Amino acid sequence: MDNTPILELRNVVKDFTTGGGFAKSDLFRALNDVSFSIHKGKALALVGESGCGKSTCARLITKIYEPTQGQILFRGKDITEIKGRQEVLNYRKSVQMIFQDPFGSLNPTHTIYHHLARPLLLHRMCENDKTKLRDRVHELLEMVELPALTAEKFPHELSGGQRQRVNMAKTLAVGADLVLADEPTSMLDVSIRIGVLDLMQRMKKEFNLGFLYITHDLATAHYIAEETAVMYKGQIVEWGDTTEVINNPQHPYTRLLISAVPDPDVRFADVVKGEEDYSSHAQHIRDISSAKVNQIKRVNQNHYVRLLAG
Ligand SMILES: Nc1ncnc2c1ncn2[C@@H]1O[C@H](COP(=O)(O)OP(=O)(O)OP(=O)(O)O)[C@@H](O)[C@H]1O
């Protein structure tokens, strides 16, 4: 059996130049030694607070940025070698993004039918035959649990959760292998979040999709992802099987995240019962977790922690 991950980051470093102009420019290390892999039909949660580098990872994977050091492999091939227009188009078809704001990625002047039929035609996923195209659009809507009449509606006529489902149907339309979901439920009402998370679970299993689930919330990570990587200031400080990371957290920053208030709609308290509340030591924990360190300790078969400096 081929066990090659669909996506693998190997020791990725990303530096940004800050300042500039006539002034001496400085380098800011946004990512330090980031490694992880994602397999088909599985989700990896990248968890951390705002500014830790989660979106930078997604931008590197979608080739918006180039890594400063390290490698990103898609199905075993370094993505810096993906160059020609057609090759980049094929890659972007295979690796789709779902954003926080479900409205932002839909054009308000077009119907949902247009949003789903267009990628099918653009990527030649369906013949340009009106009946076949309409049937396929209805099939896609059914896959994301929306009624066929949704096709005739405009984005503003749908709820946030329904719009996010349309975005998921778009990723299915082009036959994606990997979905980068950047806080896909954080702008939705609490009452509909679970439905969208459940749909992602189904997509993962039924269509064998790999997911990079980007979130600040360990509770939803636990709900959806087999593996979790906890990130702080550009470093993955702890990673491995989600249940291991949550039940046996080693890094003080992971413990701090567990103490944070979780998504109220996702049952989490049962999972972390007995965990001490670390939130009163938050500043100290952030200070000791900030230094860039390359030493890593293996805790268990699939559970690793980055050591603290000093
Ligand atoms: N183009 C850029 N130039 C300079 N610094 C950048 C650039 N893009 C990101 N950064 C910095 O890199 C760090 C990581 O940013 P990133 O957007 O990846 O964080 P994030 O975890 O996704 O945060 P959020 O959840 O708020 O989107 C931040 O300190 C940010 O200011």
pLDDT score recorded for residue 261: 58
Residue 26 banded pLDDT, cuts 50, 70, 90: confident
Inter-helix orientation angle 190-206/160-173, to 10°: 10
pLDDT score recorded for residue 244: 94
pLDDT score recorded for residue 191: 79
Q: Is the CB of 32 under 6 A from ligand 1?
A: no
Q: What is the mean pLDDT of the chain?
A: 90
Which residue's entry shows tokens 């980055």? 306
Q: Is the CB of 230 under 6 A from ligand 1?
A: no
* Selected residue with higher pLDDT from 79 and 310: 79
pLDDT score recorded for residue 268: 62
Residue 266 banded pLDDT, cuts 50, 70, 90: low
List, in order of start, the domains of the chain with CATH numbers. 39-66+177-310 (3.40.50.300)
What does the alpha-carbon distance between residue 28 and residue 15 come to, in Å, rounded to a whole number?
A: 5
pLDDT score recorded for residue 271: 63
Alpha-helical runs (H) found in 174-251? 190-206, 218-224, 242-247
- Residues 216/225, Cβ–Cβ less than 8 Å: no
pLDDT score recorded for residue 91: 95
* Selected residue with higher pLDDT from 46 and 262: 46
**pLDDT exceeds cutoff 80 at 279:** no
Q: Token pair for residue 101?
A: 């704001």
Residue nearest to atom 18 of ligand 1 (CA): 53
**pLDDT exceeds cutoff 90 at 124:** no
Range of lowest pLDDT (42-46, 125-129, 250-254, 301-305): 125-129
What does the alpha-carbon distance between residue 84 and residue 184 come to, in Å, rounded to a whole number?
A: 30
Mean per-residue pLDDT, 42-54: 95
Residue nearest to atom 8 of ligand 1 (CA): 56
The best mutation among 9, 14, 15, 16 to test binding of ligand 1, ranked by most ligand atoms within 8 Å of the C-beta, falls on: 16
Q: Is the CB of 51 under 6 A from ligand 1?
A: yes
Give the H/E segment covering residue 127.
Answer: none
φ/ψ (deg, to 5) at 210: -95, 145
List 240's β-bridge partners, or say none: 228, 303
Q: How far is CA 274 from CA 216, 238, 247, 254, in A?
A: 22, 20, 10, 15
Q: Token pair for residue 44?
A: 């990896």
Share of the chain above pLDDT 90, in %: 68
Residue nearest to atom 1 of ligand 1 (CA): 16
The pLDDT tens digits of the residues spanning 185-207 come to 888 887 788 898 999 999 999 99
What does the alpha-carbon distance between residue 31 and residue 67 come to, in Å, rounded to a whole number?
A: 9
Find the 55 Cα to ligand 1 centroid distance in Å: 7
Find the 97 Cα to ligand 1 centroid distance in Å: 17
Residue 116 banded pLDDT, cuts 50, 70, 90: very high
pLDDT score recorded for residue 215: 94
